[in-house]
């Protein structure tokens, strides 16, 4: 069958001073990617394609609609569909479930963006399902650069195409497309081309079968969160650690040179996610002065949950947004809240083996009870001993997921 090359022009490369950029597709069929609106840049295209790979893997792993919020080729958040609570919506400045009527894919994106709303500012969205009006209305007020999806219904397309003065980037991809088995991918670095086999590793429950700890019981909800965390890491710049609960990656630590740095980042983000639903954080939301915009409120709540770490200048900036002084969360209150949040269902995944117990010691402080890592280190027994000390259930997947 004759092959043809399709070219999709891009607005520019990684930076505006790199004016020549394009997507090329060589094959016997039509290009699986089309531009439904706007003019994507090189980074938009990378975030869109990486995000699509992630939501595709999430849906395969869980059989649920999935969404991801991408920034600079790593996910700020990722999640599968699930019920939203009033406190979750209030903490993340979403309309209450009784007011909005969240479709499954809208709920998945609400969860994905809430993982780290600050990092998701100006995100590129990926969703596994056709975009409906419920999701489009949720996206409309958010600062976002674009979205990729398998389709758009008419109402959703009209809502999103009006964003950013009509320039909102909307990509559409054929959900049936997949790279051919064993196909290669390449990149050019310093004028030299590097090539490798495409990573088609499947994320499924078989990765959780080798449980090495004394505790063996792995509830379905915890298994789902481990799979969500692991699929997220497959598409996150290495080194990386992800913490998840309720089918949502609530803390992603990416691109660090040491694994403990990844773990600290992921757990710190998870702590902030959990603390935003603390009663004192919810009370703060009622103290904002009139006219404070939502992005400023998002950043202020993120500061508030770290109130004891702020210097006088930072505290002054926060207080300037409020009508009265807040009641800060004490360090002891924060530790107690995180340790008991989510009924002990926090799960952690690592994109390679965990080399030292300090990773699990830090994870335990955030309430992590379930862990999966590749294994294969000379210190596997010591890490397993640490998991036993913390009462964790830990599996070794045998699968490394580095991405560079």
User: pLDDT class for 181, splitting at 50, 70, 90?
Assistant: confident
* Cross-strand pairs, 394: 371
Strand 169-173 with 144-149, pairing: parallel
Structural domain span for residue 119: 4-173
| Residue range 101-140, pLDDT digits in tens | 999 999 999 999 999 998 999 999 999 999 999 999 999 9
Q: Does 280 qualify as catalytic in the annotation? A: no
* Catalytic residue from among 59, 64, 71, 280: 71
| pLDDT at residue 383, as a whole number | 96
- Domains in the chain, number: 3
Cβ 236 vs Cβ 242: under 8 Å: yes
Choosing from 11, 72, 100, 215, the catalytic residue is 72
Q: Is the domain of 240 the same as that of 291? A: no
27 or 41, higher pLDDT: 41
Residue 71 among the catalytic residues: yes
pLDDT bracket for residue 342 (50, 70, 90):
confident
Q: Is residue 178 part of a domain?
A: no
In the set 44, 92, 239, 359, the catalytic residue is 239
Q: Are 266 and 248 in contact (CB under 8 A)?
A: no
CATH number of the domain to which 319 belongs: 1.10.287
Does residue 1 carry a pLDDT above 60? no
- pLDDT for 2 equals 62
- pTM of the prediction? 0.94
Same domain, 311 and 257: no
Q: Does residue 304 lie within any of the structural domains?
A: yes
Q: CB under 8 Å to 190, separation ≥6 — which residues?
A: none
Confidence band, pLDDT 50/70/90 cuts, at residue 226:
very high
239 is catalytic: yes
Q: What is the pLDDT of residues 60-91, one digit of tens each?
A: 999 999 999 999 999 999 999 999 999 999 99
40 and 81 part of one domain: yes
Instruction: Report yes or no on 22 lying in a domain.
Output: yes
Residue 403 lies in a domain: no
Same domain, 122 and 251: no
Residue 189 lies in a domain: no
């Amino acid at each position: 069958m004759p092959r043809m090359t399709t070219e999709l022009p891009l607005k520019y490369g990684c930076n505006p001073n790199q004016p020549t950029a394009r997507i090329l597709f060589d094959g016997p069929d039509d290009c699986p990617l089309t531009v439904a609106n706007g003019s994507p840049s090189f980074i938009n295209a990378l975030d869109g394609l990486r995000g699509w790979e992630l939501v595709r893997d999430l849906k395969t792993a869980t059989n649920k609609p999935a969404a991801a919020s991408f920034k600079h080729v790593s996910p700020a958040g990722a999640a599968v569909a699930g019920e939203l609570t009033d406190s979750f919506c209030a903490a993340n400045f979403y309309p209450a479930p009784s007011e909005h009527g969240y479709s499954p894919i809208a709920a998945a994106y609400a969860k994905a963006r809430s993982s780290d709303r600050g990092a998701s500012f100006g995100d590129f969205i990926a969703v596994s399902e056709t975009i409906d009006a419920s999701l489009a209305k949720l996206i409309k007020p958010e600062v976002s650069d674009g979205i990729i999806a398998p389709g758009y219904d008419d109402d959703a397309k009209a809502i999103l195409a009006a964003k950013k003065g009509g320039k909102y980037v909307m990509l559409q991809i054929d959900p049936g497309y997949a790279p051919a088995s064993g196909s290669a991918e390449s990149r050019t670095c310093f004028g030299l081309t590097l090539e490798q086999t495409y990573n088609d590793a499947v994320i499924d429950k078989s990765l959780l079968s080798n449980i090495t700890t004394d505790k063996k019981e792995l509830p379905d909800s915890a298994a789902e969160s481990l799979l969500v965390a692991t699929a997220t890491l497959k598409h996150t710049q290495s080194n990386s650690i992800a913490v998840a609960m309720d089918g949502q990656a609530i803390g992603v630590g990416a691109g660090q040179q040491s694994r403990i740095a990844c773990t600290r980042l992921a757990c710190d983000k998870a702590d902030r996610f959990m603390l935003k639903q603390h009663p004192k954080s919810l009370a703060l939301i009622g103290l904002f002065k009139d006219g404070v915009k939502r992005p400023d409120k998002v950043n202020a709540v993120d500061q508030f949950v770290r109130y004891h770490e702020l210097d006088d200048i930072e505290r002054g900036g926060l207080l300037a947004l409020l009508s009265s002084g807040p009641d800060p969360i004490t360090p002891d209150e924060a530790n107690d809240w995180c340790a008991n949040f989510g009924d002990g269902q926090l799960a952690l995944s690592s994109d390679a083996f965990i080399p030292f117990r300090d990773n699990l010691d830090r994870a335990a402080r955030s309430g992590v009870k379930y862990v999966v890592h590749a294994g294969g280190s000379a210190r596997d027994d010591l890490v397993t001993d640490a998991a036993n000390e913390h009462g964790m259930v830990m599996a070794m997947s045998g699968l490394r997921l580095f991405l560079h």
